[in-house]
Chains A and B, each alone.
Chain A
Amino acid sequence: MNLGEIVPDDEPVARAVIYPTHLPAKQLSDESLLDFRGDNDPIALGEWGFAYSLSVTCLSLHASDEVHRGGLLLADNQNEARPLPMKEESAAYGHQRSYLGYYEFKTACATPSPDGKDQTVTIFWPDEPHFPAHANCCIRISADTVKRDRVNRRIRVIGLIWRALRGPTRYLYDVGQPFADVLNELPLEPMPK
């Protein structure tokens, strides 16, 4: 598969859970795991007016252990690029982001709207050498939509994906690794409910 190719919508993809970014705390909702971000890349946009992307891993190209290795590296990269602020409450996990595992879904769950003004696709987007199975799940929306419409279309897709999530496939830290006891005990919502 090459950069820019559409991943078949019946192939499972994995979304990594990074703590504390994604784990719901207090009033943060679970759907924060699915924060599609605005994407102006021509590959993401295709012929559409707007695109919103979410990083995923193609499970068909990776063994579970390799997906975990990618998640651990992702957390490390984020810690290096954007260190967490040194707050009292983050001392329990060393003021670091940590990878906890992943949820999976198939893009086919995000059916397009009947009016044809949006579609959800997963685009193969390898990030060599460390993330060879990386892809972007993209919500594409027609150019002739107003902001409210675009937000509502995103909400609908996020709701569909959330309902279709399976998992988690948990990564367990070895005893003796820093903060293993804390990280291994963090609750992850079993899906589907």
Chain B
Amino acid sequence: MMSATLPMGKKFFRYDQRSTPSTWSTATSKTMRSLAAATYYPVPTAASSVIVGSFSNAYSHLADLIQSFEDPAAEMHVDREAVRDARLLMGRLISANICPPKAFPSGGDAVVFVWEKAGAKDYVYYADDVLSLTHMPSNGDDRQFDIDLREAAALTTFATYIGR
């Protein structure tokens, strides 16, 4: 089972895609708390409404960028499904007041969101309510896991991990 393959010391473990969503959530929350405890991302401190205001420009640019990927003539074109998923995730990030990511197109069928902090990168791919997080710090202790956003606390936990 996935939860049994979660040890923090194991590099690049991979969740079993057949695992149940409830197992993902429990395991992921624990993992993210551990990463956050390593002073990776700050815990949000300011009022959410103020933060949303300061993020609005960046999210506006992100929306424009995602729209540009939709153009079939664009060099960085991705398919409609990928654009839809990227917009859905952006909506969830805004609703949780999460600091805005950067993004890049991948393979014509995905939009990947990126956060960078202290030399580490977090890459996120989202589809079907599940967010795949690839954590790549500069020391090579890379990890990859899934977060089921249908679980009630999953987005909040993710927000705490990434920062607001």
Contact = CB atoms under 8 A, between A and B. Distances in A.
Interface in B116-130: 119, 121, 123, 125, 127, 130
Interface residues of A, number: 34
Given A21-B75, A27-B62, A82-B75, A156 B107 contact: no
Contacts, number: 103
Contact of A37 (B12, B62, B108): B108
Contacts of B58: 26-27
Interface residues of B, number: 37
Contacts of A77: none
Contacts of A130: none
B17 to A, nearest CB: 6
Contact of B114 (A21, A31, A38, A163): A31
Nearest to B119: A193
Contacts of A24: 102
A69 B107 CA distance: 27
B108 A32 contact: no
A29 B103 contact: yes
A155 B61 contact: no
Interface stretch (A59-67, A119-127, A143-151): A143-151
B144 A27 contact: no
B132 A113 contact: no
Given A35-B105, A147-B109, A27 B100 contact: yes
A154 B12 contact: no
Interface stretch (B26-34, B41-49, B134-142): B134-142
A32 B105 contact: yes
Among A52, A155, A159, the most chain B Cβ lie within 10 Å of the Cβ of A155
Contacts of A193: 119, 138
A128 interface: no
Contacts of B134: 152, 155-156, 159
15 contacts: A27-B101, A29-B114, A31-B112, A32-B76, A35-B76, A36-B106, A115-B14, A148-B127, A148-B132, A151-B106, A151-B107, A151-B132, A158-B106, A163-B136, A193-B138
Q: Which 8 pairs across A and B sit closest by C-beta, in order of nearness?
A: A29-B102, A26-B61, A32-B104, A27-B62, A29-B104, A159-B136, A29-B114, A27-B61
Interface of A: 21, 24, 26-32, 35-38, 52, 82, 113-115, 146-152, 154-156, 158-160, 162-163, 193
Given A21-B75, A148-B17, A155-B132, 18 more contacts: A27-B101, A28-B65, A28-B102, A28-B104, A29-B101, A29-B114, A31-B114, A35-B76, A35-B104, A38-B107, A147-B109, A148-B132, A151-B125, A156-B136, A158-B112, A160-B136, A163-B138, A193-B138
Interface of B: 12, 14, 17, 58, 61-62, 64-65, 73, 75-76, 100-110, 112, 114, 119, 121, 123, 125, 127, 130, 132, 134, 136, 138, 142, 144, 146
